Structure 1
């Protein structure tokens, strides 16, 4: 273990599970494809639950769910809010918190997340406590972003120009989804997760080294003193992180409820398959080669590879899906570089899989 097991806390955190429910319902098709790519079949119980929740949404609410949560930043925005505000302990607490903060405070969370990178210099780019100047300072930053799609920029600009409307729409969506769709099943899900939490606590206590190797992988790129592990129904397998830095020296990990039924060797084999497939594309291979030599931003890669910036962004997403990249923001440009340790690990995994 990177840290003693006494500094690892297991939890079932209702607001975290609620936002994963929102995210899964909005991105059902793409998440099922992800599971298919990793040779995992989500439970029939999950499929039926998602269909049941979707059946209770009006057409308007379905569109709002897609608007906010197909936008992947929203999951991490809400995750950041939960992690930074320890008084948020229930789903109702989360909804009330967003209802009660001023619209520009919500905007500051949104923009901070949009500007987040592993270096996370977003705090220094804008004085977040000075709400009077947020809109004026942010428009140019959004316009200059080279790592965002036009659709993402348009959504961010709408948040800047209409923060009150965005807040009202988000609150209405979360309230309606909770009352109509999630509240009727929340207790059942939390009871199931509490039981699973006890199982993972026993596994950690019995063999910390095995637990770390099998379930947590390598979080050496993060600096933290404590780890909090939320057991999650809607992530199903493997560990997931919010795209935020550890808060109060605590790293939050969301561990899927069925991770123990999906051995790491299966996940590793699927990753190797995706890695080999990724490198089979000539342009992606050249991109990996370039990023291994030095950091590049999108327009540099586009010019060197004779591709359009949107095509480069598409390829970068493929690399990001395998955690192959590090991102650092300088002068509002996102610089991508290859995470050499992850690549070395994948190459070692490939050897183990192919030469076993």
Structure 2
């Protein structure tokens, strides 16, 4: 399967994973429509990506605003259409213990990280369904399957995005649509979000190690747009969280209670954004690109695993293990 004629829309396209995705799509010759709140950073990204010989344009937009997303989608489809791929990547987070947050913090994270994807899917479907073609790729997280301390709002938003994606996928299958809905679940990624997030930690937050570069996720997103898999996991940690969360939730509870906060705390001092409302309500400071502050720790390569393959493998290993246990128990019984 290949991406059809048209442009690729990327929300949160000016920095982090979205910026890395835009770079890779541009390298492959696809026109780009980039959405984000920070107008200056967005325009700079579009200008740099145009150097690849593609039509890259910036569209300032807050994905939490459904009307704004719909209006922007109409503008994109008229100017650069048809919309061939829509990548829902925009997010925000607050890194605090549950009781340290205000209700408004949780509401804002849900509005951007969950409803932002809902609004994007609705906008994309308005143009893709009548044409019976197109790919929607939602950037999820290993945390869509297993929540961790300090990120209850973000984890809840990713859980919700996964549920909405699953429901939509079944509805499209039921009507025989060729439109695909995929999710890409990264591990800990070196993006600027940790420089921008409001936090109660004593130092700047960091991704849980091992940390991977955003280009590893971009490869999975482009693959998802081309192949339309149900979901892809980027990096073994995301896969381990998925499998472990299903099979050993209580053990993970205790492990995360013991080390979850420390694993997310760096030795670097907090930024101005870390000490205030962060980027939940206003764009983060600085002209960041795809990478955050952890280049010295981040890996350039990550295993990309199809979720269905992982499930079949887990079931197969479980069946073999159960068979082996039964065999040896049977041998023991025969000896008596």
Q: If the TM-score is normalised by the length of the shorter chain, which range does it land in?
A: under 0.3
Q: Which has the higher contact order (CA 8 A, sep 6+)?
A: 1
Q: TM-score, normalization: structure 1?
A: 0.25
Structure that is richer in helix per residue: 1
